[in-house]
Chain A
Amino acid sequence: MNKLAYDDGSTWFYRLRETTAFWMFLILLGLVALFSLISPHHAFLSVNNFFNIALNASQLVLLAVGMTFLLGAKEFDLSVGSNIVLASILAAKTITALAGTPDEVAVGDYPHLGLAVAVGVVVALGSGALFGLVNGLLVTTLRLSSFLVTLATTAIGLGMALVLTHGANVPDIPRALQTDFATYRLFDLVPLPVLLSLALVMLLWFVLAQTRFGVHTLALGSSVDAARRAGINHKLHLLKLFALMGVLCGVAALLDISRFATTNIGGHQTDNLQAVAAAVIGGTSLFGGMASVQGTLVGSLIPVVLGTGLVIMGLDSFYQLILVGLIVIAAVYIDQRNRQTRF
C-alpha cells in the first residue's frame, strides 16, 4: 500500500503505526510488562504503583506539554525550572504570610488557610504567566532567539528567587496542602494531582489537535512566513504560547509545594531538559511543525516507569539516564522516518 494512500481506504491502524507516539507507547507497555514480570513478587504490577508513577509524572507532563506547544512553534523555553522555583517561592511566601501571624504559622496554626491558599494559587499562576510573558516579549520585540532569551531568564529567575529567600527554602507551608490535596486519593485510589494534570493534558490535547490555535501553532513552527502571509498574528500567538508555558509552570509550582510542603530551590535545574526529552520521545519535532500531546504524555511516563522499575529491581536508578538517552535517539530516528505524513 502506498504511504500516502490514506484517502483511499487505509485503516486507522495504518495511520496509527506511522506515528512516533504509537511506537513509544509500545515501548512503554513493554517496559511495564518487563518490570511486572521480573520485579520481586511482581511488586511493579500493582494499581497503587501505577498511580504512584502517575503522581511522579504529574509535574513533568505539564511542563512537557507546554514545551510541546513551544517546540511545535519552533521555540524553546529553557527557563521552566527557574519559573517554577520563583512561582513556588512567591506562592509559599504569600500563603505563609496570609495564613496567620508569624507566631501562629510557626506552630502550625493557620486560621486563614482558605484565603491564603486561594491568593497563593493566584500568585503562582500569575507569577508563572508573567515570567512566560516576559520571555515572549523579549523574543518577539527584540527578535532574539528563544533559546538564548530563556537561557538568560533562567539565570535571572533563579537569581531573583535566591535574592528573595537568601538561598533558604520557605518553611512552614501548611501540611493541609499535602494531606487534603497532594496525597489525597479520590476513592482511596487516584491522587488529586494526577486528576488535575490529566484534565489539563486532555484540554491541551484538544486545543492542539482540534482547534485553530493548534493549527496556527504548528504553522508558525513549519513556516513563520507562510503563517504571517496567511494573516496569523505571529507575535501575539508566540506571546500566548510563552504565557501558556508560564501558567503551566505556575501549576507545577503549586503541585511542588503541595507535595513536598516546602519549596525546592535547587531541585529544578534539569526540568527543562526533561520536558524537552519527554516531548521529543513522544514525537514532537525539535524543528517545529510537528507536535503531539498524547505522545508527550507517553514520553513523560517512560522515564518515570524506568526509574521506578529500576528501583524496584534493586538496580541503580542512574541507569535510567542512559536508557532515556537511548530512547530519545530512537524517537528522533522514527520522527525523521515519518516526517512525510501527518494526521
Chain B
Amino acid sequence: MHSPQQYLAAQAAPANGGAHLPSVGRREPALQAIGITKNFGSLEVLKGVSMELYRGEITAVVGDNGAGKSTFMKVLSGEHAPTGGQLCVNGKEVLLRSTQDAQTFGIETVYQDLALAPDLSVAENVFLGRELKAPGWRGRIGMLDRPQMLAESTRILTELGAKLKSYRATTQSLSGGQRQGVAIARAIKWARHAILMDEPTAALGTRQRDMVYEAIRAAAQRNLAVLLISHDLPQVLALADRIVVMRQGVAIANLVPAEVTVRDVVDVMLGAKPT
C-alpha cells in the first residue's frame, strides 16, 4: 500500500515493485475501488462497493437518499477512511488518510458546498493551499506570484467558458454558477487522475446548470476520470458515459445511458426492476 510520498516517488520512477492489481477490461482505471466497506459504529453504510473510473469518462452515481453515494465519494476523496477494501490509483493500491492524501494522488473533489473561501479572490481560491511563490529573491522571502496566479486562473476559467467580470473579485460576489465554475476550475487545475463531484448543479438555475455541465464535459475531455453524483436523472442520462446505481450501501447496477430511460433508472434505484 502506498503512502502519498511513496506514490510520488513511484510516479517519478515507474514501479518495479508496488502492489499492481490486474487491470479490468481493456484499459487500466484511473481510480478503482474494490470491496469498499464503511461502518459508522454498528451502522454499515457501505457494504463492499466496487467501482472503476476511467480517463475521459463521466461516471454518474445515482441512488435514493441513504444509498451511500456521498459516503462513498468521501472515501474516495480521503475525507472518510474506509473500514475495509482497497483503493487503487493507476493500478497501485493507495492509502487515503486525508483530503491532502487524495490531492497528492491526483484526485480532486468538488464538494456540494464548493469549499470556497468567500472572502478570497477567484485566483486565491484556485490556488488555495498550493500558492505560487514569486521567482527569485522575492519567492525566497515568501512573496506570492500573484500575477501568475491571476493569469493561470483566468486562463482555466476562460477555457471552461466561465465569463467573470473580474478574477480579482471575491467569490462571494459571483453568481452560483460562477462559483461552481471556480470550484471546477480549481479541480481541473490540480487533478491528474480523477475529479469527484457531489451534486454540482444543486440549487442552480437552468442556464447556470448548462454552464456547469459544459465544465464537467471539459474535465472529461482533459483525459480525467470524472465521478458525478447527481439526482438530476435526465441530465445524468445526457451527460454520463456510465451510470452506477447504488442502493443500501451496495453498487447494484452498471447502466449504459444510451440503453436506458429515466424510468428504467428509477426502477433500478427503487428495486422495482431486477438488476
Contact = CB atoms under 8 A, between A and B. Distances in A.
Nearest to B170: A342
Q: A206, A211, A288, A343: which has the most chain B beta carbons within 10 Å?
A: A211
**Nearest 9 interchain pairs by C-beta:** A289-B119, A230-B129, A222-B117, A222-B119, A4-B165, A231-B129, A230-B128, A211-B142, A4-B166
A228 B113 CA distance: 14
A81 to B, nearest CB: 29
Contact of B169 (A213, A225, A228, A341): A341
A278 B166 CA distance: 31
Interface residues of B, number: 34
B165 A2 contact: yes
A260 interface: no
Interface stretch (A5-13, A118-126, A128-136): A5-13
B99 A231 contact: yes
Contacts of B113: 225
Contacts of B21: none
Contacts of A230: 115, 128-130
B131 interface: yes
B135 to A, nearest CB: 14
B185 interface: no
A219 B131 CA distance: 12
Contact of A288 (B119, B125, B129, B167): B119
Contact of B116 (A7, A206, A223, A228): A223
Contacts of B164: 4
B173 A341 contact: yes
Interface residues of A, number: 36
Nearest to A233: B100
Contacts of A212: 131, 133, 142, 144
Q: B115, B128, B133, B168: which has the most chain A beta carbons within 10 Å?
A: B128
Given A215-B124, A219-B117, A339-B172, A229 B111 contact: yes
Contact of A213 (B120, B130, B142, B173): B142
B121 interface: yes
Nearest to A10: B166
B141 to A, nearest CB: 8
Contact of A211 (B129, B144, B165): B144
B115 A229 contact: yes
A162 interface: no
A219 B124 CA distance: 9
A229 to B, nearest CB: 5
Interface string A263-297: 00000000000000000000001001110000000
Interface of A: 2, 4-8, 206-207, 210-213, 215-216, 218-219, 221-223, 225-232, 285, 288-290, 339-343
B119 A340 contact: no
A177 B121 CA distance: 46
Contact of A231 (B114, B119, B130): B130
Contact of B119 (A207, A216, A290): A290
A285 B117 CA distance: 15
Contacts of B116: 223, 226
Tell me if A's interface is mostly helix, strand, loop or mixed: helix
Contacts of A7: 154, 165-168
A221 B167 CA distance: 21
B166 A215 contact: no
Given A215-B124, A218-B117, A5 B131 contact: no
A319 B115 CA distance: 46
A230 B124 CA distance: 11
15 contacts: A6-B168, A6-B169, A7-B165, A210-B143, A211-B143, A212-B131, A215-B131, A218-B120, A223-B117, A226-B116, A339-B119, A339-B170, A341-B169, A341-B173, A342-B170
A231 B99 CA distance: 7
B86 interface: no
A288 to B, nearest CB: 7
Nearest to A15: B168
B117 A226 contact: yes
Contacts of B117: 218-219, 222-223, 226-227, 289
A86 B257 CA distance: 70
Interface in B137-188: 142-144, 154, 164-170, 172-173
B115 A225 contact: yes
A321 to B, nearest CB: 31
B103 interface: yes
A339 B118 CA distance: 10
A213 B125 CA distance: 14
Contact of A219 (B103, B120, B130, B166): B120
A289 B173 CA distance: 14
A233 to B, nearest CB: 9
A336 to B, nearest CB: 13
Contacts of B128: 215, 219, 226-227, 230, 232
A11 to B, nearest CB: 14
A168 to B, nearest CB: 45
Contacts of B133: 212
Interface in B76-100: 99-100
Given A219-B124, A225-B113, 16 more contacts: A4-B166, A4-B169, A7-B154, A7-B167, A7-B168, A211-B142, A215-B131, A216-B129, A218-B119, A219-B117, A222-B118, A222-B120, A226-B117, A226-B128, A229-B99, A230-B129
